[in-house]
Amino acid sequence: DGAAYLTVSLIAVFLLDYRLEIASELLINEKISVKEISYKCGFEDPNYFCKVFRKKYNKSPLEFKNERT
């Protein structure tokens, strides 16, 4: 039904946003690669991680990291 689909979609969006927030903290505070951070945050594909990260922050994870460290 539509309400269940909407609920699942909202949960998925929330989880993606949460994982990206954790990734942003790791990028700032940890001396590990973007690839390793993507895996630590539950992304199976580092390329997908970079794509969704750029969509949220308007810059690549590496650009984000370099600006803040």
What per-residue confidence (pLDDT) applies to 5? 75
pTM of the entire predicted model: 0.89
In angstroms, rounded to a whole number, what is the distance separating the alpha carbons of residues 63 and 7?
33
Question: Which is more confidently placed, 47 or 6?
Answer: 47
Instruction: Give the distance from CA 29 to its chain's centroid.
Output: 15
Could you please report the per-residue DSSP string of 6-33?
Answer: HHHHHHHHHHHHHHHHHHHHHHHH--S-
pLDDT of res. 17: 97
How confident is the model over 29-43, as pLDDT tens digits?
Answer: 999 999 999 999 999
Q: Taking the C-alpha atoms of 20, 22, 28 and 32 in order, what is their torsion angle to the nearest 10 degrees?
A: -100
pLDDT band at 50 (very low <50, low <70, confident <90, very high): very high
pLDDT tens, 1-25? 778 777 888 999 999 999 999 999 9
Q: Are the C-beta atoms of 26 and 40 separated by less than 8 Å?
A: yes
